[in-house]
Structure formats: structure tokens, C-alpha cells
Amino acid sequence: MKTKTKGRRMFIGGEWVERDHVIDIYDPQDHSFITTVPKATVEDALFTVEMAKKGAETAAAIPVHERMAILERAAHYVSTHQKRFAETIAREGSKTIREATSEVDRCVQTLRISQEEARRIHGETIPFDQMPGHEDRVGYYYRFPIGIIAAITPFNDPLNLVAHKIGPAIAAGNAIIIKPSSLTPLSALLLAEAFVEAGLPKHVLSVITGSGKDVGETLVKHPAVRMVSFTGGLKTGEHIARQAGLKKIGMELGSNCPTIVLEDADIDEAAAACVSGAFSAAGQNCIGVQRIFIQKTVYDQFEAEIVKKARTVKLGDKQLESTDMGPLINETEARRVEALVNEAVEKGATLLTGGVREGAFYAPTVLSNVPDHCQIADEEIFGPVVLLYQVIDLHEAIEKANNVDYGLQAGIFTNRIDDAMTAARCLHVGGVMINDSSDYRIDGMPFGGVKGSGLGREGIRFAIQDMTEPKVVQFNLKKDRNRL
């Protein structure tokens, strides 16, 4: 029997609030109880929107220099409390303490980039006299905040992906409501603390914890919410798009990212990058390497190298600095990945290493000869499994890489500039990483995909474009042309 403890409160309209009904939060490593968070109701979500209406008016009136100062103070708070943030990420989620510390560092950078981009929300003058009869008109456009943004965030980057919603929203002068994953809400609540300490006015930010059905759907459907920013799975994204109505939607919906290895590549370097890209965060990474297309002439060499490196990945206690990979977010997810691998093997795939589950842990796994009709061949695995394919040349690799309903990022290893440029032009993705795996991102670049991988782009400057609207201002001078 679990001892009842005082849990974390959620943050609504500038106030920390409790509820009688709660969600239990567990460490996926050993299913040990951490704490509780409130289980918000539909009424809570509606109230949060009402508070955000006030927040939208407040946020729009905050001068740019003060938005910048708030973001810098929040970044400083996160930086000076790095250990606490990292331990929270590593405890509630799948990341090792090293991965969690890196995520905290990225969160600080995300907030600081948001601070800088706040000063660069520019408009332009418009030459109205380009049209005959409009010689006496002058004007410009500027960008204004859209109002209330609802953001729904996943478990795999529970701090930095929240920062990618909050930072641009505040830089642009909006109010924002965060609905974090019910599996990992604690990091988002910690970030709300940072903004309280930074002096963000009341009502501008809320972090509401609860179910997607009660809280998420209420926010998505609400007419006062002018944008929904969602990071998660394709099916949920499609459901949100049907519900949202006439409002902006930004979505990053995952992928089964390809990486191409050509015969002139540095095989050791490529294998090391692919192992890191496939197994970091236990493979629960939207740009993680899932499919590797290797030119036939170097296939055997690459296969031997990636299997050898995969077997050196140290699986174990997330809180130890020496650990490379922790568990999946829960045992249910580990069983799902196990079932996908087993199905592939039963249909003819070759298990080169891994394929072993213990609780929520699933060993780094490499498969080859995966038949096209397996579910794992064209769906996002979101687990520590990578598939190897032999190809004749670059054109076959590109054709196979494109033959799925996703297109987030891709990687290619080659020393030939013409092959690199061909891949950059022909791969149907939002980003091509040359001599890197698909698992490369900085927080200032446009980030998003095509096809089933989503709509729009994140990356602070690009998110701000979605979080603002252009307004035209025109002056009819009506001057007397004879008085010059």
C-alpha cells in the first residue's frame, strides 16, 4: 500500500492549485512511485482558457525589452538549478542523467534564443505606389501576437520541448497553456517555476495536468484558442486536426528516419553516429535512426561495425553517469517494441543483436533482411531498434527512403559532393544531415517534416512566425500635388 504524500500542484493562471483527483507518477526504471499531480477536469481546462484570455491582453502589452528580460531570467534560473532539473528529467522519464543534463543545457539555449528572437520580430514597408492611382499611399506591415496558444507536449523531451513552446510564445507576446504528457509532467511544472521566479505576469502561462480526453480535447476545440502546437504521434495529430476547427495548427508527428551510407563513407564514423542516433533516449526520439540503407560494396563491413558498437551500449541505472541507455517510458511500450521485433523475425527478418526485454528495458537491437510487409518496416518504432538494408546505389537508397508516409529528417554519409547534393534535393524530408545521422538538431534551425511527419516548423524564429500574424497599416496622404 502506497503512503499518501503531498503531490505537486499544477499552475493555472499564475496560481499553484491542487485537486482531490490525482495522477500517480512513476519511475519507469523500477516503477517506483515518485509523486502525484492533479488530474484536471474539463471545468479546469475551461477556467484555464478564461485566465489565458486575460493573459493574452497582458502578454501583448509587455514591451519587447521586458519579454527579453523575462526569458533571460528564466534561462538563468534553469541554468543555476541544472542538477534539480536534470534529476527530475532522469527520474520521471527514460533519459540517463547524462542525457538529462544535456537536455537542461538545451533548454537554457532555447530560452536564450527566444530572448534574442524577440527583438527580431520585424515587418516591412510596402510600396503602395506599385499600382497606378495609388501614388499618394504609403504604409507597412507588422506582426502581432495571435492570442492564446495551447501546446500539448510528449514524454520523450519533457523539458526542452516545453521550452520550444513557451519561449517563442512569450517572445511573440502571447499567452500559452501547456498540457504536458501525463507520464512526465514534473519537468514542465519546474519550468513554470522558472518563469514565476523570472517575473512573468500572472495569467500568461499555465501548465495544466490531466488526460488528453478531458484537458487536451477541451483546449483544442475551444474557439478562444487561436493555435494548437502539438508534438506526438500521427494518429493523435490527425485526431487533433479534425477537432481543432478554424485555427492555426503546428504539428511534429514523428518519423521512421532513414540514413544512407555510401561506399566512400568513413564506415567507423557512420556506424558510431548511427548507434548514437538509434539508441539515445532508448530510441524514443522522433529523429532517431530507424532505417539504414548501405551500399552493397560496404554492407558487410558496416553491418559488422554497427553490431559490434551496439553491443557496447551500456544498459542500466539511469542515474549513473556510466549508463548509456535507460528503460523505455513504461513496460507497455517495451512490450509493444518486443512484439514488433518478434513479428519481423517470424516473417523472416534476421536478428543480429538484441531482441531481449526485461521489464521496461529493451536491449539495443539490430535487424536485417526485414520484409516489406512487416509493421516495423514502415511505421515509427519509437524504441531502440534499427533496420539495415542493402542497396545497389544512391538512387535505390533514395527511392526506398522516400517510400513511406513520413518525412522528418534523413542522414547521408559520403565524401562526394554531388551525391550529397542529390540526396539533399531528392529526399522527401524536412532536413538532410550530411555526414551525420538523421539524429541531428540545433534549437535555432527550422525543425519539422513533410507527409505524415507534420505541419509547420519549430525552431524559435520559425515558431514565432506561426505564433504571430501580419497586420497591414496604410496611409492615404491626400496631399495637394501643387504644393511641393
Supply the residues annotated as catalytic: 252, 286
Alpha carbon distance 271, 386 (integer Å): 12
Q: How far is CA 242 from the centre of its chain?
A: 21
